[in-house]
Every structure is written in structure tokens, then in C-alpha cells.
Structure 1
């Protein structure tokens, strides 16, 4: 960008941020004076999120734009709001029109779950569904200590993909954020997944492709993901899929794919493409949930089976050639036996 042109842009943004903060201070003062005022941290967070969303959509235009700028503006407004209230609670603001929830499938490490929930607790989430299996009392205590958590427990280990599907059935939110219970991700990054799903796409994927290198250098499982996308005419998605956490889904996406199909991510991914859903990128996180290069034969066979299910679904919908024309064979000579 031209340096002279960027300076007025920076000045304009600075003025916008100052205006947002000033409005936040006024709204904070008004909220403190209202009957709705409550000095608990949870109520303060909820009020700050709600007032920022109303301001952004009703008075600031509510238009999409660069996420970094929207996040800056939200932080400026909520900082002013808390100054007006005279109290402080850490939050990451996302100007939502609708509701959002998160689904967490936890391992058996309490410290990991606590780190994950700590990040999620500062986002504007209606609820956090925590799916546990064979959990200790400490895991239960941690899960229940956070606001708006819904705890589900299975006495024995359940496949994580199945757990996510079951967790999704327990919430009616418009946007669902799925995160790894073993890996805490910066809330600023997770916020963008929610925003993209709220404003632009039906599915916001984790972008792992930039870290995979050339195709021939990848593990077999990683090739499955990219080949599935290419075979369904979505080469722009590269190797990104619903097999890599975190990701976010809209309610429309869940209804189109069917919640139960989340138990087989490759199949759900294929159904999303076949269903014409808007699929994009929510952010880039080095996901521990993604298959490792040293994946065992068992994991490889499972991934292969999942993708076979995905292609079977696609071929049922589009035919055995997936709408790719056969330009090398003159099948018309077969007459009625052409197919």
C-alpha cells in the first residue's frame, strides 16, 4: 500500500477506536445505573458482549470487514464499557447477532481441560458442552467451576468424533465451535472462527495446509483429505477438512449434514460440499488432533474407511465419476449400456 495513503487510514482507524471507547464508557455508566446492573464477573462479561454487539450492528453499521479491525474496535469499546462500570473482567468481544456455543471433548488431564476452559470462558458463548469419559472428581470439579458449562459423562472411553456428535445434539446455538480438550488455543484466534461462521460462511475450517509442505512429502492420511477435496471440485480447500480441530459450524450446516454424521468427519465434510454449503477458513492452528505423520496402521485404516464412506456418499449423489467427464473413451457405442 502507498505509504501516504496508509497514514490517513491509520488516523481514521485511531479516531474510530477513540469514538468506540467513548461510546463504551457512556454505555457502561448507563448500565451501572440501570436495574440490570450486577457486579458479578459473569454478568459484566455478558453485558459488555451484548452492548458491543448492539452498538456494532445498530449504530456502527454492523458490516463485515477486516476481522483484525473489528477485534480492535471491540476491545476498545469493551475497555471503555468497563471503565464506565468501574469494574474489570477479561473478555474477547465478538459482535454476534445470534448465539454461539462450544463443544469440548476432554481427555483425562485436568490441567489441559482447565487451560481450554479458561480460554473459552472469555468468549461470548451461550454454553460450553464438556464431554468427559471415565473422569476423575477433579475433572468434574473443573468443568463445573466455569460459567454456562453442560457436563456429559460416559463411564467408558468413546471415540472423540462420536463425542463431538453427541455434544452437538445438546445445544441449540446458531454457531457451534468445536475445540480440542487437550490443546488450549488463544481466545483471539478462536473468536475469528465464531465470527467467520456468524458472518460469512457455514463452516469455518482450521487451515493446516500451509504447514504440510509438498504433496509427495505428506503422510498418506493427509493426502486423503486433499484428494477428497479435489475429487469434489474444491481444490481451494487443499488438505483442510473437518478432521482438524478447531472448526466452527452454523446451525444450517448441522441441519444439512446431519449431526450424527459428525461421527465420521470425512463423510460429513463430503456432505457439506455436496450440500452446497459455504466453506471457508476460520484461522490457522497447529492442531494436535490432526493425524500425526507417524500414524499407526490402525489410524491409517480407519481414515481410509472414513474416506471410502465419504466417496460412497458422493458417488451416490453424483454418479461413479463424480461429474468428471470421460474424455478418453467413446462410451456412446455401448448404446443403452453406456453407464
Structure 2
């Protein structure tokens, strides 16, 4: 995996390197011959011509190019990771599962390997969402599906995201979940998501965002927004829309109910601050590319009277 620079408002400074503990070694997958597909990107093709998948020890040997790559960042998810991987493999007949073990210390990576996933392991936490970028760089599929290791979502509810990319030509298939708004005080993250979509002139997306899983990307979308952007999901979201990619909310998964509370993490560094900061970074990028009004017209204002 090539190194890339991670920057921003979380633990993304410096360069991300593959850990020496990584189990994603080329030898575990057998000898790979490189060729170029129609899109010009390099694809892996096995020396043997058969289409089959078999386990060698606790590493998966893939003798074909997967169509779908499911990327799962994991940090201490031993209670759920086996079930999450099982559902991930059931999404499509040609699927690879990539687990990015992000400073995990509870044996989650061992469980993931035994469940057949490719595991990229880091001894220390990379920072929130950085695992998505790491996993995406290692992915070989034409569709990249992003889920989390602590939420067991049935394959039946994950397939619409993959099918939207494969069959409908969608580039970014979003979770149609906007968060609760019918309340006196709306959460700042929900407000940030709605604000970003309004500035991007996509009010139809409401509060949907690449911050929320599940969501899927086409290979075209990954190339255009760039792997590094995935470490800041609202930035990748903004780039996808501004670059003219087809972005659509395709399926509602209420992650608000599925996401378990992280009391210790919230005490040390509230995730709310990180996500709102990411949306501010995305807004800054949008404003820096456009005019003073982000493309909005002045409508009936008569500014010359104020001069």
C-alpha cells in the first residue's frame, strides 16, 4: 500500500504507513500478475485462471479480482466483528472484506483473520475515519462499501448500496438517514450535515452524509475525490457533489439506534467536535472554490442602495 499524507483536525498528521504487524502480505494471496483494466487502473490477476476462493491458514487467498470491497475500520469490536464480517461476505458473490484494525487491543484482528477478512493492523489508533482511507487504498473492487465493526447490519440491508452503484450508475450511494430534527434543540452534527448540503445546493439530500455508514462508492468516485479525502468524510462528500458525480440517498439504516454509546471515548474527546470540525473543513473547501455567495444568486437585494 502506498503511503499517503493525512492532515486535518484529528490524528492525521505525518504519513500513514503499513504496520509491520499487517497481515495483508502479498504472499498470503499467492503470486499476482498485474494488468490494466479498461479504466486504466491496475488490476490483480492470478497466475492460475480458475475462479475460486479458499482459506490458507487464517489468511484468505483470492484467485480473482473481487467486484465489491467491503471496508471495516475496527477498534476493540470482538463482540460484533465476526457477525459483521459474515454479513459483509454475503453482500455479493464476488466480495473481499478488508478490516483496518485501528489500534485494537482486544483480539478483534485475530477474530477478523479467522473469519476470512484481509486485516491491515496498526498498533496505535490512526484517528477517527482514517481507517476508511487506508482500507480504500488497499481495496481492489469496483464498488467500495463502508461499514463499521460495531454495528451488525444484515446483508439484505447492505445490498441496495452496492446495487445502486452496480446497476443504477450511482457514484455515491448514501444512507438515507438525516438524524432527528423534530425537536426544540437539534444536535450540532445534524445541523452541520443539513447546512453542508444546503451550501452545496443539494437540499434534497437533507442531512445525509458520507459521515454515516453504510455508504458505497464507485471506483470512479474514489479516483475523483481521492483516497485521502475519505479520512474527512464531509470533504469527500462535498468534492463528489462539486465534481458532478451522481450522489443519491438510496436506503435508510437508522444508525442512531444501532451505534452503541462510547462513554470513555466521549469523555476524552467528544466525537461531536470532530465531526462538526470536519464539516467546517468541507465548507472551507467549498467556499475557497467558488464566489462569495457559493453560487447562490442575490435575488431581490438591491445592494447599490447601500453604497
- Length-normalised TM-score, structure 1: 0.64
Could you tell me which runs of 5 or more consecutive residues in structure 1 were left unpaired when the two chains were aligned. Answer: 1-35, 42-49, 51-97
Question: Equivalent residue of 2:150, what SS?
Answer: coil
Cα distance, 1:215–1:291 mapped onto 2, change above 3 Å:
farther
- Superposed displacement of residue 330, structure 1: 3.9
Once the two structures are superposed, residues 238-292 of structure 1 have per-residue CA deviations (whole angstroms, 9 ceiling, x without a partner) of 0000011111010111111111011111111111110111111231112158798
Once the two structures are superposed, residues 7-66 of structure 1 have per-residue CA deviations (whole angstroms, 9 ceiling, x without a partner) of xxxxxxxxxxxxxxxxxxxxxxxxxxxxx798989xxxxxxxx9xxxxxxxxxxxxxxxx
Cα distance, 1:306–1:290 mapped onto 2, change above 3 Å:
farther
Query: Which of 1 and 2 has higher RCO (CA within 8 Å, sep 6+)?
Result: 2
Match of 2:195 among 222, 227, 234: 227
Cα distance, 1:263–1:39 mapped onto 2, change above 3 Å:
closer
More helix by share: 1
Indicate conservation of the 8 Å contact 1:215/1:223, yes or no: no
1:123 counterpart = 2:91: yes
Once the two structures are superposed, residues 209-238 of structure 1 have per-residue CA deviations (whole angstroms, 9 ceiling, x without a partner) of 3x5242754211101101110121101100
Cα distance, 1:257–1:291 mapped onto 2, change above 3 Å:
farther
Task: Report the structure number with the largest CA radius of gyration.
Answer: 1
- Length-normalised TM-score, structure 2: 0.70
Indicate conservation of the 8 Å contact 2:151/2:259, yes or no: no
Indicate conservation of the 8 Å contact 2:104/2:125, yes or no: no
Indicate conservation of the 8 Å contact 2:143/2:218, yes or no: yes
Q: How many residues align?
A: 245
1:325 counterpart = 2:297: yes
RMSD: 3.3
Match of 1:109 among 77, 80, 88: 77
Cα distance, 1:139–1:329 mapped onto 2, change above 3 Å:
same
1:166 counterpart = 2:138: no
Q: How does 1:1-339 map to 2 (within 5 A)?
A: 99-124=67-92, 125-136=94-105, 138-147=107-116, 149-200=117-168, 201-209=170-178, 212-214=180-182, 216-287=184-255, 298-327=270-299, 329-331=301-303
Which 10-residue stretch deviates more, 112-121 or 215-224? Answer: 215-224
Could you tell me which runs of 5 or more consecutive residues in structure 2 were left unpaired when the two chains were aligned. Answer: 1-49, 56-63
Indicate conservation of the 8 Å contact 2:76/2:106, yes or no: no
Question: Equivalent residue of 2:296, what SS?
Answer: coil
Task: State how far apart, in whole Å, the 2-side matches of 1:249 and 1:39 are.
Answer: 24
